[in-house]
Amino acid sequence: MLKDIINAAYGREKADIVLKNGKIIDVLGHGIIEGNVGIKDGVIIGIGDYEGVEETDVEGAYIAPGLVDSHVHIESAMVSPAEYARAVLPKGVTSVIADPHEIVNVCGEAGLKYMIESGKAVPLDIYYMLPSCVPATPFDHSGAVIDGNKTKELMERYQLKGLGEMMNYPGVVYCDEDVLKKLESSIYIDGHAPAIEGIGLNAYICGGINNDHECDTAENALEKISKGMNIFIREGTGAKNLEQLIKAVNPHNLRHFAFCTDDKHLSEILKEGTISHCIDKAIGLGIDPVDAYTIACYNPCVFYAMYRRGAVAPGFKADIVVTRDINCTDISLVLKDGIPVAKDGKALFEAAKADISGVTDTVHIPPVTAQDFNKEFNSKEPVIELGSSLVTNAVYCESAEGLSLCANIERYGKTGNKGLCFVKGLDIVNGAIAQTIGHDSHNISVIGSDSENMAAAVNALGKKGGIAVVQNKKVIACMELDIGGLMSHKDAEAVVAEHDKIVSCAKEISPKGSNMALMILGFISLLVIPHIKLGDKGLFDVDKFSYI
C-alpha cells in the first residue's frame, strides 16, 4: 500500500480519485490554492496535475479537511452513535472526541461497551474518552461507580484517547486520593472549569488538565491559554459561547483553540450542522475563513495526537469536505478515508443497529403518588431562579404564587431519595414534564404546576425511561428512550418527529418557556454548574459544594 501511495504521488500510477478544479483551503500554509487533489488508498497524495481512475470536477468549490468536534456527548442527540454518524457526516464532521459519561453514569462499563460497538460499523471516527466523574460528584447517586482503581483498569482495557472532563474541581485542588488516582491514569485529561481563575485555576491545571470548554468570557479564555490550557469554543444547544470567545482569538494564540458542541439536540444538528455552523458563525463575526478552518480541522487533531490528519496535504488522511461556499453551509460531498460517505446533505450509508440488551430497562422505582410531591412553601427556603443560561441563582419569595414545583428522584433503586424545591421563571399551567435525562447522574427530573400532574408524568416514563408531558393529569406526549433512558434505537427522522411533539405539547402547558423547561430539566440536577441546583437529597449550593 505504501509503495502504491508513493508511486501515485510521484505520478507513476493513477490516483484512485482526483477532485479537480477546486479551491483548496490550506490550513498549514494559511491560504487558498486552486488546483486538483489526488487520493490513493484513502490517503491524500498531493495537490497537482494528477490523473485518477475516477475524476470529479468540483467546479470551483472549496476543498477543506474533514471537520472535528473536539468534545461531544453523543447521548444529548438522543440517538445511537451509529445514527449520530448518519446525522453529522453529511454536515462535514469526519471525527469526534466523545465523552460517554451520560450512559456510563447510567450503565457503567456496559454503557461504554455499547457506545464503542455502536460506532464500529459507520464511517465516522469516534474517539472515546473515559468518563472521569461516575458519579459526577461525591453527592450524586448514579447507576454506576467508577473509582480510581476501576479507571486505571478501563484505561488499560480499552483503546481510549484519555480521561474525560474532570468536573470534580474540589477533588482536584484538595487532592482527594481517589481523584488523584484517576488523574494519574492518563497523560491527556479534558477539563471542566467554569468561572475558575487565579490560584484555584493554577492548582486545577497542575492536576494534568489540558483543556476547557466551559469558558464564557474572552478574559477567562485568555487567562487559561496563558496558563497552558487549550480552549474549546462551545456552540451547543443549551450553551452558546462562540460569540464571546471568538473575541479572544488572535494570530498569536490561534493554535490553542478548537470548536466543540458539547451537547446539541438532533433537530438543530440536522438543520444547521455542528462544527460547520461554528465555521459559519465565526466567519460572520469577522474571523479569517482559513483561521476558522484551522480551528475546526487541524488544531483538534494536534491536541489529541491524531497524526497526519486535519489538513489537505500529502500523506494526510483523505477526510475531505467539498463545500460550494467558504462558510461551509452548502456541502456537496464528504469523503472519509477517500470514500464518498455523504452527498448533497444525504448519508450514503445505513446505520447498523447494535445490541441494546445491556443498556435498557434502567428505571427501578415503584409507582409514585401525588403525596410523594407534597411540599409546603417556606419563605425562608431558597427558590431556584432560572435565567437564559445553565447558571441558576438562589432567591427568596414571599409566596408560591407564580412558582413551579420541581423534584429529582433517584431512579436506580439504591436510595429512594427524592429532592423537592420551588422554581421561579417557568410558568407551568395545569401540567408537568418528567424525564430521565438529568446531567450527569440522570435521575428522574420532573417539574410541574402541582403534585398530581407530576406523579402522572413520572409514572408515564416506565422502566425504559424517556420524556413525558402531562396536561390535566393525562399524558399528551411520551417519548421512549430505551437506551439508558437517554437515547432511542430509532432513526434520526423518527426521533426528531417524536421530540418535536414533546416540544409542542410542552408549549401547551408552558407557553412562554417550553424549550427552557426541557433544558432546565436536563441540567437542574448538574451539581457542578453555579450557583444552586437540585439533587436527589434536596437543594445544593454549588459555590459551597454542599447540600443546603
pLDDT of residue 513: 64
Q: Is the pLDDT of residue 515 over 80?
A: no
C-alpha distances in angstroms, 384 versus 405, 429, 497, 520, 540? Answer: 10, 18, 31, 11, 10
Alpha carbon 306 to its chain's center: 20
Which cell numbers in the block locate residue 201?
485555576
> With bands split at pLDDT 50, 70 and 90, how would you rate the model's confidence at 153?
very high
Beta strands 125-130 and 346-347: pairing type?
Answer: unpaired
Enter the pTM of the model: 0.94
What is the gyration radius of the CA atoms in the chain, in angstroms?
24
> With bands split at pLDDT 50, 70 and 90, how would you rate the model's confidence at 519?
confident
Residue of 466, 448, 442 lying closest to 370 (CA atoms): 448
One-character DSSP codes across 476-491 = EEEEE-TBTTTBBSS-
> With bands split at pLDDT 50, 70 and 90, how would you rate the model's confidence at 380?
very high
Mean of all residue pLDDT scores within the chain: 95
Query: Residue with C-alpha cell 431519595?
Result: 417
221 in Cβ contact with 229 (< 8 Å): no
Q: 404 — phi, psi (to 5°)?
A: -110, 155
CA distance linking residue 457 with residue 302, whole number of Å: 46
Other Cβ atoms closer than 10 A to 264: 26
CA distance linking residue 225 with residue 61, whole number of Å: 35
CA distance linking residue 441 with residue 87, whole number of Å: 26
Q: Is the pLDDT of residue 377 over 70?
A: yes
CA dihedral 13, 16, 20, 23 (to 10 degrees): -110
CA dihedral 250, 288, 125, 15 (to 10 degrees): -130
Helix (H), strand (E) at residue 451: helix 451-459
Which tens digit of pLDDT belongs to each residue from 273-304? Answer: 999 999 999 999 999 999 999 999 999 999 99
Beta bridge partners of 471: 431, 474
380: exposed, middle or buried (Cβ count in 10 Å: 0-12, 13-18, 19+): exposed
Which tens digit of pLDDT belongs to each residue from 445-464? Answer: 999 999 999 999 999 999 99
Average pLDDT over residues 298-311: 97
Average pLDDT over residues 253-280: 97
Characterise 354 by phi-psi region: left (phi > 0), alpha (psi -120 to 50), beta (else): beta
Which tens digit of pLDDT belongs to each residue from 181-210? Answer: 999 999 999 999 988 999 999 999 999 999
User: Which domains does the chain show, CATH number per domain?
Assistant: 66-304 (3.20.20.140), 360-547 (no CATH)
DSSP 79: B
Which tens digit of pLDDT belongs to each residue from 91-118? Answer: 999 999 999 999 999 999 999 999 999 9
Q: Determine what percent of the chain is predicted with pLDDT higher than 70.
A: 99
Residue of 144, 191, 194 lying closest to 441 (CA atoms): 144
Query: Residue with C-alpha cell 407557553?
Result: 511
Average pLDDT over residues 148-163: 96
Q: Is the pLDDT of residue 440 over 90?
A: no
One-character DSSP codes across 17-50 = EEEEEEEEEETTTTEEEEEEEEEETTEEEEESS-
Which cell numbers in the block locate residue 67?
471537520
Which tens digit of pLDDT belongs to each residue from 464-504? Answer: 999 999 999 999 999 999 999 999 999 999 999 999 999 99
| Cα dihedral across residues 191, 194, 200, 201: positive or negative | positive
pLDDT of residue 514: 62
CA distance linking residue 431 with residue 268, whole number of Å: 26
> With bands split at pLDDT 50, 70 and 90, how would you rate the model's confidence at 441?
very high
Query: Residue with C-alpha cell 425511561?
Result: 465
